[in-house]
Amino acid sequence: MDGFELNRMLAAALLALLVGMLATKLSDELVSPRYLAKDAYPIVVTEEQSVPAAASQEEVKAEPIEPLLATANIEHGQEVAKKCLQCHSFDKGGPNKVGPNLWGVVGNRVAHLESYGYSSAFKGHGGSWTYEELNDYLYHPQKHIPGTKMAFAGIKKTRDRADLIAYLRTLSDSLLALPKSESHE
């Protein structure tokens, strides 16, 4: 009987120890959130996390072309513009085709021609064709002006867009100033 009692006491002591250990472990986890915060922080800033964020931003916002404009290759821009000829004419007084004539479009207002029937998405857009606006539009027309009837996937290479826009800029009676350094000259 004594032995049995002893066993029960031992078992009880063991159980108490176990419960105590569990409680300590639990309270450790409850009481030390700082450890968790420290461990979690470097995980949040790993590159894996920032890559999808950057990629999804890229979908809507084009890489800026401003730094490239001053050194843009206008002849190459004209080459790139061949992709547009199917729908646009570029010469002064040229006809509207599927899309409007693009003479003098840089710096002009969005939907710049009275003679062309723009989509309501375009008419409601407002603003003007700054370099930034053109850059974002030509990067992804449908995303930049949702509902546009310009059925064109966009130009993804930043250098190509810069050259193209520099070429478009030359098609004008009143050149829009280039951003930054050039405008000082």
CB of 125 to ligand HEC, least distance (A): 9
- According to the binding rule CB under 6 A, does residue 170 interact with ligand HEC? no
CA distance 100 to 112: 9
Residue 37: alpha-carbon gap to chain centroid: 30
Asked if residue 100 binds ligand HEC (CB under 6 A), the reply is yes
Q: Which residues contact 174 (CB under 8 A, 6 or more apart)?
A: 104, 107
Span of 12-20, 43-51, 61-69, 147-155 interacting with ligand HEC by CB under 6 A = 147-155
Dihedral over Cα of 146, 150, 152, 155: its sign: negative
Residues 51-80 binding ligand HEC (CB under 6 A) are none
Closest residue by Cα to residue 168 from 67, 85, 77: 77
**Which of 61/97 has CB closer to ligand HEC?**
97
Binding residues for ligand HEC, rule: CB under 6 A, are 83-84, 86-88, 98-100, 102, 105, 110-113, 118-119, 121-122, 138, 148-152, 155, 164
